[in-house]
Amino acid sequence: MRKSEDEPNFREIFKGRRIPILTLDNKWYELFPADEKPSHIKELEDNLNELLKRQGKLANDMKDLKKLKVKLMEEIIANMDTDDSSNGKQKLKKMTQNQKMILEIGEKMKAYEDELADIPYLIKSVNEDLMIESAVIWYQKISNNKDKINEITGWVLKVRDELKEKILMKQDMETKNATIYSYMHDLLGPDIIEAFDEHIL
């Protein structure tokens, strides 16, 4: 989005500040109803939500891998008494398989740990971009609304003055009508005034 001349530098304003995760905040959604959400905001929102989902999935996968590693370690300990018998060879085979799986799990966990270490920075970066782009839109809306408020305020003041004039004119005419009616009543009497009322009032 293009930056206007008098628009604040939002990147500088938000730099180093703790910003809550916008897509987890209902108030953010209230200010961006789905049918009014610009495409670049929607894209940042989707990116942020994907990162949050990925972070949650990695954390759950890590828990599952740790449980599996513990289980495999217990099986290795249970199968350590190997010998040349058929059962002993079976235990050795199972132990070797488990050791191989533990190594694979270790590699996978290391990759997950590395990704989990990077994700908070990615979330922070995308969330900050979303905050900046949101602030630009909100700033423009506030500016536009202020212009309209000033325009409406001017109109209200003008109409208020006109309304005062019209109220005074109305009161003046009502007073004149009452004076004329009262004079005619006194001059002509109630019978003629009743006939007059039928035609005029």
> Mind listing the pLDDT tens digit for each residue in 125-173?
999 999 999 999 999 999 999 999 999 999 999 999 999 999 999 999 9
DSSP annotation string for 103-150:
HHHHHHHHHHHHHHHHHHHHHHHHHHHHHHHHHHHHHHHHHHHHHHHH
Average pLDDT over residues 14-25: 88
User: Measuring CA to CA, which residue among 115, 134, 120 is closest to residue 25?
Assistant: 134
What is the rounded radius of gyration, in angstroms, for the C-alpha atoms of the chain? 40
Element (H, E) at 68: helix 39-78
pLDDT at 197 over 50: yes
Is the distance from CB of 63 to CB of 108 less than 8 angstroms? Answer: no
pTM of the model: 0.69
- Quote the pLDDT of residue 178: 86
- Quote the pLDDT of residue 6: 67
> Mind listing the pLDDT tens digit for each residue in 67-78?
999 999 988 888
- Quote the pLDDT of residue 5: 59
Q: Which has more pLDDT, 91 or 132?
A: 132
pLDDT at 1 over 60: no
User: Measuring CA to CA, which residue among 136, 131, 122 is closest to residue 47?
Assistant: 122
The structure tokens listed for 122 are 């990615």
Q: What single DSSP character describes residue 35? A: G
pLDDT at 80 over 80: no
CB burial string 11-20: b at 16+ within 10 A, e below? eeebeeeeee
- Quote the pLDDT of residue 184: 80
Q: What's the mean per-residue pLDDT of the chain?
A: 88
Distance CA 38, CA 84 (A): 71
Range in 119-123, 146-150, 197-201 with the lowest mean pLDDT: 197-201
**Residue in the block written with tokens 């217990």:** 74
The structure tokens listed for 110 are 């290391």
- Quote the pLDDT of residue 199: 66
